[in-house]
Amino acid sequence: MKKRILYIAQELSPFLSGTEISEKVLDLATFVQNQKEYEVRVFIPRYGCINQRRHQLHEVIRLSGINLVINDIDQPLIIKVGSVQKAKLQVYFIDNDEYFKRKHVIKDANNNLLKDNDERMMFFCQGVLETLVMLRWAPDIIHCNGWISSLIPMYLKEKYNNASVFENTKVVYSLYKDSFVGSLNKDLKNKILFDEIPEGNLSLIKTPNAKNLHKLAIRYSEFIEITKAFNNKDVCSFIEKEKIKYMEDKGDKAYEEVLDIYNNLCATEVV
């Protein structure tokens, strides 16, 4: 039976090109998909700047229509699907008019962080997990890429811990230089508490900056990949402190090393 690898990414080429994350995830997902023993899918946000007609995106009606509660307000979840044809990759898009209709990705026209980036992150992460539950597609590995995916490990272990599709799922979290400067809405922690998440580890994001979001993801992950350009010493020290296994991406044969990590994690029993 093929191993199922799910990539959750902040961006993906060719839908959004030119960033380290968008190009790295495309290359890695394509490489893994070309291995006979793996089945790969990718999830990204459907930012308003992604041209639906050009990329032939269409809504998956049978999956759309449920609401997610974000900050105690119902928000409709819209699922769209497309593909990277030359790589034979199936790509799912999490969409919502309130959060993703605008053309900007994470900053406005004045280069300021969008004020609702915290809720967009919450919606995206929960939307991915809800979609997997509806699809009944059980990933062996969820590989998170980019800060917008940083709540996935925590939601998986705290909110979706009883969902059978995630019974054997392990999480890999990759650290990139591409991130944001400053902080998200200071009420992020309180908004997450609406989801009946235990408050304990949320103290890490009392100040919800990129560094602290990474730390929260690290605490709930099984393995960390540190990409070449990432150099935050505080976050790297946190990995050591938490005793989480990790690898440093040196570039040479990195994808083969990632495959080895997947195989080792799949062979480890879930505690």
pLDDT in tens, 45-83: 999 888 888 888 999 988 888 999 998 899 999 999 999
Query: Which pLDDT belongs to residue 238?
Result: 96
Name the nearest CA neighbour of 190 among 208, 176, 177. 208
Return the SS3 of 192.
helix
What pairs with residue 8 in β-bridges?
43, 144
| Mean residue pLDDT across the chain | 91
- Tokens at 98, concatenated: 């309130």
pLDDT band for position 195 (cuts 50, 70, 90): confident
Domain boundaries, the chain: 3-266
Class of domain 3-266: alpha beta
Residue 27's Cβ-count burial label (10 Å; 0-12, 13-18, 19+) is: middle
**CB distance 143 to 21 below 8 Å:** no
Return the SS3 of 243.
coil
Query: Which pLDDT belongs to residue 63?
Result: 86
Mean pLDDT of 239-256: 85
pLDDT tens for residues 121-178?
999 999 999 999 999 999 999 999 999 999 999 999 999 999 999 999 999 999 998 6
> Rounded distance, CA 128 to CA 152, Å?
9
